[in-house]
Structure 1
């Protein structure tokens, strides 16, 4: 009887890969008693043929999901508590979850969680990632997932810090390419970076667009929508913005009380120490 009930449960769950509530499972098992259903569920959970997960629609309830092919072997030997931690990490996706949240969601003590995490890492089921938002905090996610850019900082972060040198190299190469072409689209620049191998890691279009935007904001390139294809085209400006002007180099150009400065007044050129210092450093 138990094996037949197990097969019925698995068949029902496979029809609902998103998971099934216990209340939805009950009508799928006509003639099966509560005790037989509970016995079959426990057997399937113990053999890892079935998973019990927190219901995404209601964190206070649980759903049953049939395990994927191969999961039975991967999870062999894991206890119910091991699986509870694993499923907690699984639910966090590629944003990961840190141990304090695991403790709250599993009601397990920290030493127990640490022991389970070590076992899961040794079996390459989960991995830890350092977050660029909080270097002292590690988050855990499934081993096969790529961490979200919010965690790693994307391609702009090295192992330990923001990689400003890499960004400068990309900016210079992109600007040089636009100058040589005279006119380039985002797709052109992405292709150029990919083919030249400037970046050791694959850059997505939005990554390259960020580099282009920094050049645009600095006035080193202009962005104009092309009438033919409707796409932004990037070109070197006809009149580049100078790094400095006579007015930006003089203290008056950034003085917060400039409008109150008058000759002979309380605030005046002759009494301004910044103006005097600027005059002294001029090479007449």
Structure 2
């Protein structure tokens, strides 16, 4: 039995989402253009088939949603050569992700005898499916193509057990600046936004490339998971948002009609507005007499205000800048002595 064209199409679309788990509802939405006539029941059959071929892994959440993550075809082909016990061991190592797992823990969780565990690990190491690492002199097993957690950027974010604010803030500033300058049209009104089909919003891989090229962190090799932590903080602070957008067309996402069906996560900046109101840019917004002493028929009144002429006589271009900078020209209060 071979993988069908429909199954390969679904696998490709899940693979395009990167190293994240995607739920069934989202997958159904993503395949709408490539396989418009696929029902929910048909999708379930396709996903189950992909899982049996080792092309996807699945995980169930506490609310009973099923999530899927794609494996590469190369990995799936190697998994086809594993027997049932070897595959059980592989999945256990895979689920340990960057933490890794000790051989004793594998034996405890799988109930497989030591000799079979050892031979299975040796076989998978030979096939470059898993590898042996020794962080802090403890032998662990993890997938071949990922790095241990203590070799990641995460350890640089802490200094003596406390968050290293200098490193974190430097990364946040660089990421936000990179995203901001790709989120809004240049030399246009400040409220201008890109059209709905715009494909220039930065992806996680583009942001990672920016951090690497900036040489901001030179001590370790920075990875996707590291920068995602920083982006999650920016999302929490309300500075950026994460959305799904149409992928930039390329040979892998274009069909024979020239239509792109790819979809990917991108990041968009949110503009930080200055706090103020309609009065802020005018003299009344900062007048020391406005609230309590300025009245229509009083000694201080709008009709004899001395601050407005000061403001209106400024260069119009300077006045236009006031709403954006929050700065007003100095007020000469000596011209308007406080009444006794």
Larger Rg: 1
- What TM-score results when the alignment is normalised by the length of structure 2? 0.33
- What TM-score results when the alignment is normalised by the length of structure 1? 0.38
More helix by percentage: 1
Task: Tell which has more relative contact order, 1 or 2 (C-alpha 8 A, sep 6+).
Answer: 2
